[in-house]
Amino acid sequence: MIVFNLGCEFGHRFEGWFGSAEDFDRQRERGMLECPVCGVKAVARLPSAPRLNLVTTGMAEPSGETSSPTPAANEESASRARMLAAQIAFYQHLRQMLERSDDVGERFAEEARRIHYKETPERQIHGVATREETAELLEEGVAVMPLPFIVKRKNELN
Ligand SMILES: [Zn+2]
């Protein structure tokens, strides 16, 4: 078994265990790899250089391809596992919220305003807005929460 440091396009880092480097290539080509945090399939192998810190561990990484980590590395991967678990819980919570809210797509800014000005019944919505639209909404006092990643649409969940 070998361990690779992997990362998704949104900067989440995680470890993948593979029988061999070819095994990794094969799984990636078939789209079998997926980020455990956000679920995207755009997963790449990261260099095992220390202090890449896409996710804040603040500690040196163990060398990527060893199968007998030192005790320090064990501690580190335990704390990383806890952090990852917290991240996963957060994203799952977010997904549940999204499933209960209306996807208004490109009309997000318009709908958020209508709700804010009580032109339409209050409800939870989500959708896409440009940076400028988001800034305008926040200026007007419309409560929106920009999400730091591209959220999968409802019909793509599961
Ligand atoms: Zn991810």
- pLDDT tens for 80-106 read 777 777 777 777 777 777 778 888 888
Give the pLDDT mean for 150-158. Answer: 48
CA of 126 to the centre of ligand 1 (A): 20
Domain boundaries, position 14: 2-97
CA of 37 to the centre of ligand 1 (A): 5
76 with 130, same domain: the answer is no
Identify the domain boundary among 97, 117, 135: 97
Whether residue 147 is predicted with pLDDT greater than 80 in this model: the reply is: no
**pLDDT confidence of residue 114:** 93
Q: In this prediction, what percent of the chain has a pLDDT beyond 70? A: 76
76 with 8, same domain: the answer is yes
CA of 90 to the centre of ligand 1 (A): 12
Domains in the chain, number: 2
- Report the distance separating Cα 104 and Cα 113, nearest Å: 12
107 with 91, same domain: the answer is no
Q: How far is CA 57 from CA 62, 73, 81, in A?
A: 12, 12, 11
26 with 78, same domain: the answer is yes
27 with 89, same domain: the answer is yes
- Model confidence at 119, pLDDT cuts 50, 70, 90, reads very high
Q: Which residue would you say has higher pLDDT here, 152 or 110?
A: 110
Whether residue 122 is predicted with pLDDT greater than 90 in this model: the reply is: no
CA of 121 to the centre of ligand 1 (A): 34
CA of 115 to the centre of ligand 1 (A): 31
CA of 87 to the centre of ligand 1 (A): 10
82 with 12, same domain: the answer is yes
CA of 31 to the centre of ligand 1 (A): 14
103: left (phi over 0), alpha (psi -120 to 50) or beta: beta
Query: pTM, whole model, 2 decimals?
Result: 0.42
